[in-house]
Structure 1
Amino acid sequence: MSFDDQINAALDGTISSLREHLEAQLRDFSRNAVRTATEERQQAVKAAVDAASAEVRAQAEALVAGIRSQAETQVAQIKAAAQKHAEELKRAAESQVADLRKALEELRAQAQQQLDAARRIAQAEIEKAHGEIDKARGDASQARSDAEIARGEADVARAETESIRAHARQEIARAHAEIEKTRKGAAAEAEEVLIGRLTAAHSVSEKKIAEAIDRARTDSHQLELSRAARLVGAVRNLDEARGLSEVLERLVQCSGHEVDRAAILLVKGERLAGWRLAGFPPGEPSAKSIDLSADEAGLAGAVLKSGVPASRPSDAADGPGLPPFAGSAGERHAMALPVRVGGEVVAVLYADAPRVDEPSSDARWPAILEVLVRHASRVLEAMTVQQAAGLSLPRPVARGSHTTVPGPVEHAGTGDEDAARRYARLLLSEIRMYHEPIVDAARRSGDLMSRLHGEIERARKLYEARVPESVSARAEYFDQELVRTLAGGDRSVLGGAQ
């Protein structure tokens, strides 16, 4: 259906609906007039109705004619606008098609140029490959001729090799005969030389054995002298203590030099509380966590009850066992000794070392510890009496080889180094004793140097003022004791301000 037919159909439909609407109105109007008019006026009304109907029809036809005229005018305008727009679209499409054709021609020209260039390059590569193939064929021919020459030379070489091998076999057989003859003569000579060397080695061995025996006796004598000097130094160290807690601190430190592990347990009523540990690995319970009854403390509890020293091997079936904090260390020999003040046991020293079944100087540590404990008890009693009497404790003085003069340590050699270590240990033990909560917190947080920087530097200055510069590794001794005494053997807890 064309656009004109659609417009005519729409106009016809509009006119038909308008005619039906008008006719409906006229019918309504007629019915109303009939109902209201009287019989006398039926003819007049009918005539009026006919006239009105004619007039209405004329108006409707005029209205329809006007609407149709307007519709035709609008349709003509729409047709003209559509024709104009179609022409504009056609012109734009023709312009775009021309542009596309031009671009396509340019692309075709570029593609042809590239294709020609690629063909030229491919032709050059093909010609080059042909040249290389010809060259390779020539090389292969040369290689085949060289191989033929090499095969001939190899055959000659094989023949020469077989000749050389035959000659070599003859020479080897002759050499074997000569070697066998020489071996027999050399064996006789070697036997004589060996007898002479064995005789000389035996005399040298006897001489070395004698020297080793003398050296062992000398080393044993030196070891005994060193142990005696260490005991004397420990006694002097206890004498130099400036307080009751310092006596116990030095006692456990001196004991730690004689055995692997040592511990001081303080008596609190009927119980034993840990105070200091020496030689125990970091993973073991801390001293402050030890709180045992006399029965739980094993060997240490038995000494608390009896008041006399006691010792036993760790695997003994009878008698009291080892304290719980020392029970898992293999076969050891353990000892507990009472520290007495005024006849009362105020502390117990526990110590153990690897078990030694054979008699040796290493098995004398129980006697040394008993001497130290007895002397520490006397020092504690003297301090207690002085404090009770209101007397001030004497100030400690430095020990020299033969004199006691306050001031720097005047020792030389190994004694000087031991004194430097002990003094560093003393200074740092004081920091640990007087600032123990801070030390424990710093070990957990890993910032010990920043928390106790002032106290540590003050101790370092006192140490450097007393220990002379002639002591080798003076600074290293202080740093070693700093890690061992304050850091518990873990350098990482010192923190970043080292």
Structure 2
Amino acid sequence: MADLNQIRSSIERAVSSRLTQQADQFRKEVIEQVLREIEPLLASSGASGPAQSLPVSSVSGILSSTISAIQASTVQADILKALLEGVSKFSARTALFVVRGTALAGWQARGFADDNIRGLTLDGSKGLAARAIQGRDRVSGAATEFDAAFVQQHGAPADRNAALFPLVVRDKVAAILYCDTGSKAGFPTDFSAIEVLARYTCLWLELAAGKKTSGPQVAESSAPASPSSASARTSSTAPTASLDAGPEVGNQSADEQELHNKAQRFAKLLVDEIKLYNQSKVAEGKQNRDLYRVLREDIEKSRATYDKRYGGTPVAPARYFDSEIVRILADNDRSLMGSDFPA
């Protein structure tokens, strides 16, 4: 008689393969639907900068090809490179800076006379950068409000303005995307399209991080000790979405490790859903430091779902559901859950 574990393993592989095929098709359909939805918006809004806009058909084509390139990438560096390539079609100059505390560490750029900005460290605690990080939304203003020394070194944009797009991954601003119209007027600029790409990239970074439990990682150097002028150079820094690895699970077999990974991913999925459908309650609970009281019903329903699947397994003591509740809903601050939180 065939071993039950072998049968289960075969079934899981078959189901996983089928779901992957379905997911790929679903993603393609989502991309097409998104493009159809935003096409009239792009047509009516035109370019967000002073330059002439691209034809809507060209915008849709660039968005589609860029989203496909992002989707085909699983490593953070490749995802961000695909983003920069796409953004360079809508902005004469663009640069990606990784947020390291109050510092912005240069990573890669497109369209500048010198695209090598690795090691470049700017102050992100003031001006446009601070506004983008605090507001978690696109900001525009005089380019010198971003960094006067940076503008002086690379040349001011023709209209003297710049736009910053924060990349928010797992509720943290992981990077800042700088865009301007270039030193010569006339480049077709579309900041609305860039915003679409930036938001899709954030979603894909989260998805890629959730799917990947091992394999190549984007190298991360230590954060710069302090912000300096645009001419300062430090050790190279590659971007990361500041993704945490979750609770330690010790030395286990491959099967045990996979069970832990699945349990943590399932817990994250459940808590993400709570946050998605209760954003106002989450904000209220954080402000009043009583998240559990406000979301008790949703939390306990999801906890029951998690326990039904993993409560009787070896991963139960790891309490992944409680960990994800605190991490995702309370930004790793347990006190925001309130005194009646049972974890």
TM-score interval, smaller chain: 0.3 to 0.5
Using the size of structure 2 for normalisation, the TM-score is: 0.42
Bigger radius of gyration among the two: 1
Quick check: which one's helix share is greater? 1
Using the size of structure 1 for normalisation, the TM-score is: 0.30
With CA pairs under 8 Å and 6+ residues apart, which has the higher RCO, 1 or 2? 2
